[in-house]
Amino acid sequence: MKGRFAIGAAVVLLAVACRPGRLSLAPLPERIESIQGSASIRYSRGGASARAKMVFLLVPPERAGLEALDPLSRTIFSVVVEGEEATLVVPARKAYWTGARADVLEAGLGFPLSVAEMVGLLSGRWPDGPDGAGSPAGWTLTRDAQGCVIAGSRNGFDFRVDELFPRSAVPRKLGFRAATSSGSLTVLGLTANEAGAAAARRPSLPPSFVRLTKLEMERLLRDED
């Protein structure tokens, strides 16, 4: 059934997304079918601050897996998106919550971007607007003299690109601010269209994991912070 994402996702994401500590970037192809990699993220929310390593696998337009790791590479939480539904798993508490994508991403990451928007944010590749130029619908994007996106905003979410990878339009460091969170992100590695990535599917959760309501998960996450 939908919403039963597994701990196995952590294994999949770690296998395909983790990269060495040094910053690295493989050239991105013209057509992006999937992107995966890792990033260091610092964020503040509800008066608390945290730092984590994030590994991710994004398959636009509707599927994604993200995992937050502590300094010892233990999973803090993972999020899986399939269409307009998403599941947030907290392995240490053997708990998960399945709900609307926007609600789950807001609870886990602090901002409810779509998979396509996350690809745009991390790759620097944004679709043109409805008229074939400018910003995607709902977005206001700022570009530099070379046409690289260096800032953007939509519905209370704002980001700025502080540094690009050399000879590239791909962000290396960026900052963000949303209604309930703010922070910065440094991309550690990014690749596109890895073999098998687009076909990856989620396994099932162990039967010992308990499904929580939205309110119960929000309380649990506050305890984790």
Contact between 55 and 70 (Cβ < 8 Å): no
What is the rounded distance in angstroms from the CA atom of residue 112 to the CA atom of residue 116?
A: 12
Tens of pLDDT, residue by residue over 75-86, are 999 999 999 999
Tens of pLDDT, residue by residue over 6-38, are 334 433 443 344 433 445 577 889 899 999 999
Q: Quickly state the pLDDT bin for 93 (edges 50, 70, 90).
A: very high
CA-to-CA separations, 21 to 15, 133, 187, 189, 193, in angstroms, rounded: 15, 37, 10, 8, 21
Give me the pLDDT at residue 198, please.
63
* Ramachandran region, residue 214 (left: φ > 0; alpha: ψ -120 to 50; beta: rest): alpha
What is the rounded distance in angstroms from the CA atom of residue 188 to the CA atom of residue 69?
A: 14
Tens of pLDDT, residue by residue over 126-142, are 976 554 456 788 899 99
Q: What percent of the chain has pLDDT over 70?
A: 82
What is the rounded distance in angstroms from the CA atom of residue 22 to the CA atom of residue 67?
A: 19
Q: What is this structure's pTM?
A: 0.83
Q: Which of 13-17, 44-48, 178-182 has the lowest mean pLDDT?
A: 13-17
